[in-house]
Amino acid sequence: MKKTLLLLLPVTAVALATHAQNLNFGVKGGLNLSNDITRFSHYFPSFYAGGYAELKFSKHFAIQPELVYSRSGSRYKDMYKANQGYLNIPVMAKYYIIPDLYVEAGPEVNIYLHGIEQDGEYHRNTNGRFRNTNLSAGAGIGYNLPFGLGFSARYMFGVSNKSENGSLYTSNLQVGAHYTFKRKK
């Protein structure tokens, strides 16, 4: 099922691109505050960076598939930290309220790449402890400046368990900037 979903995302993006009025490409990055949703964990500050394609269908509606690397994890007290690297593939539906201000919502596929746990002086690899893929959903807001630079904030929350042993879901707050290489009005 998950492999089928991963294959359908690029096919859907290509099909949508043929119907889009505008196709813009860009890069994005910023602060990623992640948290494994438990009552004992604290937010783990890190980063995200990647690229996107915006397929604009009208002056108000666009679809934005992305390919983003992000670091996520959590902290427990002062001694224990866990962090993982993920390849995130969100597909956001964007609604432009006014020409450059938009809200967005959509699903995200998260592919586990690597991870480390640190407990005091002890470090260990977390490969095998997390599922290869998990799903998130999210919503955000953003603003595009006229010269291609823009700013956005997005909250993503896990809708599928990411742990192989037990129940573990992640939430991420992403705040950052993006730059669009080609903009048509």
Domains of the chain (ranges plus CATH)? 2-180 (2.40.160.20)
Number of CB atoms found within 10 A of residue 35's CB: 19
**What pLDDT is stored for residue 155 in this prediction?**
95
pLDDT of 173 above 60: yes
Assigned token pair, 103: 């809200």
CB 58 within 8 Å of CB 21? yes
Contact 72, 47 (CB under 8 A): no
Model-level pTM greater than 0.75? Answer: yes
Look at residue 79 and give its three-state secondary structure: coil
- 89 or 130: which carries more pLDDT confidence? 89
Mean pLDDT to the nearest integer, 47-67: 96
Q: Which of 66, 148, 154, 57 is nearest to 104 (CA)?
A: 154
Integer-rounded Cα Rg, in Å, for the chain is 17
- 61 pLDDT band, cuts 50/70/90, is very high
